[in-house]
Structure 1
C-alpha cells in the first residue's frame, strides 16, 4: 500500500505542478500593481488563457513562442517530489489529503515571494481558512494522528508570534509573513507543540542564516528586504515530516 500511495502522490504532485506557472506569472507583480493580464509580448490573455488554471501559454503568440513564465517541468518535478516525500512520511492517514492540497499553493507562494518579495492575500488567507476547515474534517475520520483544537490554537500562536515580530521590526518582517504564519501554525500544531516549535524555529533559523550570508557576501545590506516566506515554508515542511514520522 505504501509504495502505491507514494506513486499516486507523486503523480498528483506532477499534475498539480503543471498548473503553477500561469498563476505564478500573473501573481508575480509588485505591491499595488494589478495581476498580469497580458503575456510578456503584450498580448492580452483572454478566454481560457486568462484564468488561473492551465498551462502558461499565449494563444496570440506564434508557435514556439507561446509558452511564457517559468517552465512547467521544474514546477511539476518539485511538487511531485514534495508530495511523494509527504506520502512516505505520513502514510495512509486522512491528514495526508490536506497536506497534498496545500503543497502546490506552498510552491506557488515560494516562487512568488522569491520573484517579488510578496505573499499575496489571495493565496495566504484562503490557505489559512481552508487548512483549518479541512483538518476539522480529517479529525472526524478514523486513523487521523493529530488534534484539530490544537491546530487552531497553533495557528493563533504562530500568527500572533509573527505579528509581534512584525510590530517590533516592520522593515524586517512583512505582514504577508504574518498571514502565512496562520496557515503554518495550523499545520504544525496538528501534530503537537513540539512540532510547532521545531518547524517555526527552523524557518526563522534558515531565514536568518541566509540573510547573514547575503550580508557577508555583500549581496545585501542590513536593511535590504528579503523573501522570508520560502524559509518559513521550508522549516514548516521539515517540522511536518518529523511530526508525521513521530506519530507513526
Structure 2
C-alpha cells in the first residue's frame, strides 16, 4: 500500500481523483447524447424539441430559451405530464447531468481501483467518458456514431503506444494493436454473416475494445469478448421472458460490447 508524505493512502487518492474526473466529464455528456441520438441516416440534432437552437456539444441538455418562458402554458403542461414538474421547469430535453456524472464517476473509480498508479490508468480515464456516451446513444437509437467510434479507436491505439514508452506500465502495445485488428475482424465476419443482428458500428467499436483488452494480453481479450456476448444474451433473454421482444428483435449490442471490455480491463488490471 503506497502512501504520500502526509500519510494519505495513494491508491485511495487515485480512486477519488478518478471519481471526480468521471463526475466532471460525465456531467458534460447530456448535450452530446441528445444531439447524437438520432436514427441512422439522419443529421445530428441542432435544435431542442421546441425548435430552439442547440449550440455546442458539451454541457447540460437544457434549453435556456425554454426555461426563459418562451413556451406556452399548454407546452409546459404537456412536459409536466410526461417528465414531471421539475423537468418542465428546467426545460430539460435529454439525460440529466447528475445521472451521467454518477455513472461515469463509478466507471472511472472502478478503473482506478483496479489499475492503481500504473500509467495506463490515464488512458482508461480518457476513454471512459466517450464509452459511456456511446453506450447511451446506442441504447436510445441503436446507432454508434462514426465521429465517436473511429476517433476513439485511433486514440486508444495511439495513447497505449505512448503509454508503452512510460516505465511501470503493465501491458503490451503489440498485443493491443493485434487485439484491435483481431476483434475488429471477428466482428466484421459476424456483420457479413448476419447484418441484421450486428451493425457496422459495432465492428468499428470492436477496434477500441480489442485494443484496450489486448493491452493486458490474449486471455483478457477473450474474457472481455465473452463477457460482452454473455451480457447481451442475458439482456435478450430477459426481454424474451418479459415478452418485450421476439426472437428476431434486434437489440443494441454496443453497450454490452463496452460493458464486456470494461469488465475485461478490470480483470486484466487486477491480474497484472
- Deviation track 1:196-232 (CA, whole Å, cap 9, x = no partner) reads 0000011011112221222233211122110111111
Q: Any stretches of 5+ residues in structure 1 without a counterpart? A: none
Could you tell me which of 8, 30, 37 is aligned with 2:46? 37
The separation in 2 between residues aligned to 1:156 and 1:209, in whole angstroms, is: 27
Q: Does 1:206 align with 2:231?
A: yes
TM normalised by structure 2 equals 0.87
Q: Does 1:119 align with 2:144?
A: yes
Could you tell me which of 87, 96, 104 is aligned with 1:71? 96
Equivalent residue runs for 1:31-180 within 5 Å: 31-45=40-54, 50-63=55-68, 64-180=89-205
The separation in 2 between residues aligned to 1:120 and 1:175, in whole angstroms, is: 10
Q: Report the number of matched residues.
A: 243
Report the secondary structure of 2:159's partner residue. helix
Q: Considering only CA atoms, is the larger Rg found in Structure 1 or Structure 2?
A: 2
Q: Does 1:13 align with 2:22?
A: yes
- Deviation track 1:160-204 (CA, whole Å, cap 9, x = no partner) reads 111111111111111111111000000000000000000001101
The separation in 2 between residues aligned to 1:236 and 1:10, in whole angstroms, is: 19
What is the root-mean-square deviation of aligned Cα atoms in Å?
1.0
TM normalised by structure 1 equals 0.95
Q: Any stretches of 5+ residues in structure 2 without a counterpart? A: 1-9, 69-88
> What is the CA-CA distance between 1:140 and the residue it aligns to?
0.3
